[in-house]
Amino acid sequence: MAKHLVTILNDDIKLEVEDGKNLLSAIQEAKLALDAPCGGQGKCGKCKVLINGEEALACQTEVSGDILVKLPEKAENTILTEGLVATTQADGKNKYVLAYDIGTTTVVAYLMNGETGEQITTASLLNPQTTYGGDVIARVQYQVTNPDSTELRDCIRTAMEALAKEAASKAGIKVEDITLVSMVGNTAMHHLMMGISPKSLTTPPYMPTVYEKLSLPLHDILPIFPKGEFRALPNVAGFVGADTVGCMLSTRFDQKEKVTLMIDIGTNGEMVIGNKDRRICCSTAAGPAFEGARISQGMRGATGAVDHAHWENDHLEYHVIGDVEAIGICGSGVLDVISALLNAGIINWRGKLTTDTSYPYTDEGGVERQMPYYQIPGSQVRITQQDVREIQLAKSAIRSGIDLLIKSLGKTTDDVEEVLLAGAFGNYMSPEAACRIGMIPPELLPKIKSIGNAAGEGSKLAAVNEEEFEYAGRLHEGVEFLELASLPEFMSLYGQNLNFPR
C-alpha cells in the first residue's frame, strides 16, 4: 500500500502514513498530544489542526497525499496538586516513595520521603489518554472495541515514568532510589493502567473486574524501577474507584461523627454520604462539560481561559487566567457566567437564553437553525444555548445523585452537616455559583468546604505507611453502593433538576 509523508511542523516530526489512514489515528500512534474528547466522532471540534495551512478536524481527515500538519499550540494548564493536609507517621520502610493520582484529565505524582513522610516535590501533566476520548466511557469503548490493543495502558505508563524521572530530577536523586509506588484513580483509569479489561464496566451490573487492593512487584508495572513494591488502592464499584477510596482515606470518612456529603466532580461525579455509622456512595455521569469539553469554546483551566465571573452594575465582570485576552472558557468560568446570567435575567429558569443575538447553524439532520448566544463583553468568547443545555444536563446528574443519596440514608437536606468538595473542579469552582444553578442544594452553601486533591492525599498516605494501605483495603468494604439507574425515581428527578432554581 502506498505511503505518504506527514510532517508535523511543531517539532519537525516526519511520519510515514498509509494511504487512507485517519490522521488522528496516525497522530495517536506517534504518541503526539492532540485532544479528542469525543473519541474521534467529529462532534467536539477539539482536534482542529492546520493541514497545508487550512483548518480541519484530524479525526475527519484521511491521509491521501504528503501533507504539512500544524498541531494546536500547547497552553499552560493549571493542574491541582494540593489537598487538605492528612498526616500519618511514616513507617520508614522505604527511603523514597512515589504516589500517583491518575485522573481522567490529569496525572499528578508526589515524591515523598518514606522515612519522615515529608513531601519533597510534585510533577504533573495532562493524561495522554485524552487523545482517545475526553471521558472514561469513550476510552473504555475504545479498549473494548480493540481488546488486543495496549495503547491506552502503554501511554499512561509512559506518562507515569516520565513524571517519575521529572520528580527524581527535581529532588536530585536517581529513579532507582524510589522503591515504592502507590496509585489511585477511578475504576476505568485503574483497569486501563493495570492492563485489566474494562469490559465488565460496559455490561450490567457494571462492576469492576478487580475490587481489592493490589500489591505487586513494581518492575512488572513500571519497568523504569528495577525493584520495589507497587500499591493500587481498592475499587468500590463500576464507577466509584480507588480515587474515592483515597478521598475517604485522607478525610477519615468512616470516623466522622457529622453526617457528611463528599462530592468529587469531574467527568464522572462520585459522591459519598454518611458518617461512622453508615456510608453510601454513587456515581453519576456528569460528562466532560465541567472540564470545558462539549462547550463550544470550552477549554481546560489554562492561560486564556475565562475562569471566574459575576454580574455587577448591569454588566458581566470576569477574570482570565494569565490576565491575557480571553480565548475560551473553562468549567468554573461556564458555571460562573451562567449563574451571573441567571441573576441578570438573560437566562430564564428553564435555561433559555433570552438574548436576541443568534447565529445560523446546521443541525445533525441537515436543517438550518438559529443558535442564540451571549457574547462575553470585550472578547470573542460566547456562551451558546447548547452550552447552557450541556451544563443543565451535567448539573442535573450531580444534583439527582445528591438528592437520592440523602434519601437513601434516610435523611433530609437539613440533616447534612458538612459538604466536602474534592478534586480540581471542586477546588476552583464557586460554591455560590454551584448552588445558584441548583447543582448543589442552595441550603447547603454555608456547609461547603473545598478539600483540594483529597484522592492524591490518600495515595500519599498509602505510600508512606503500610498500615494506611491496609486501612484503605478495609475502607471500601464498609461502603454501600447505590446504582442510580436502577432507581425508578431517578429519571423523573433528573428531568426536574434540569431546570434552574427560580
Which domains are present in the chain? 3-70 (3.10.20.30), 96-251 (3.30.420.480), 255-287+395-454+484-497 (3.30.420.40), 288-391 (no CATH)
Residues 243, 443 contacting (CB under 8 angstroms) = no
Give the range among 36-40, 62-66, 470-474 with minimum mean pLDDT: 36-40
Determine what percent of the chain is predicted with pLDDT higher than 70. 95
HSE (CB half, 13 Å, CA atoms) of 208?
25
The 3-class secondary structure across 311-340, one letter per residue, is: EECCEEEEEECCCCCCCEECHHHHHHHHHH
Query: What is residue 401's predicted lDDT score, i.e. its pLDDT?
Result: 96
Q: Where are the alpha helices (DSSP H) in 10-110?
A: 23-29
Is it the case that residue 411 has pLDDT exceeding 50? Answer: yes
User: Does 126 score more than 70 pLDDT?
Assistant: yes
State the amino acid at position 340 in one-letter form.
A
At residue 9, does pLDDT exceed 80? no
- CB-based contacts of 299, cutoff 8 Å, min separation 6: 75, 292, 305, 327, 328, 329, 330
| Residue found under cell 437566562 | 347
What's the rounded mean pLDDT across residues 261-286?
91
- Cα gap 372→301, rounded to integer Å: 25
Give the residue-averaged pLDDT of 30-37. Answer: 71
Confidence of residue 75 (pLDDT cuts 50, 70, 90): low
pTM, rounded to two decimals: 0.83
Q: Does residue 29 have a pLDDT over 80? A: no
Residue 37 has pLDDT above 70, yes or no: no
Mean pLDDT of 219-243: 96
Report in angstroms the alpha-carbon separations of 361 from 42, 187, 365, 370, 384. Answer: 16, 38, 11, 6, 12
If one compares 374 and 68, the residue with the highest pLDDT of the two is 374
The three cell numbers of residue 219 are: 518492575
pLDDT top residue among 166 and 12: 166
Residue predicted with more confidence, 34 or 161: 161
- List Cβ neighbours of 393 (8 Å cut-off, separation of 6 or more): 287, 289, 498
Give the residue, 37 or 442, on which the prediction is more confident.
442
CA distance 457 to 150: 29
Residue with cell 481561559: 305
Pairing of strands 358-362, 279-284: unpaired
pLDDT digits (tens, 9 = 90+) for 171-189: 999 999 999 999 999 999 9
On whether the CB atoms of residues 267 and 136 are closer than 8 A, the answer is yes
Q: Which of 140, 126, 128, 142 is nearest to 41 (CA)?
A: 142
* DSSP reduced 3-state for 58: helix
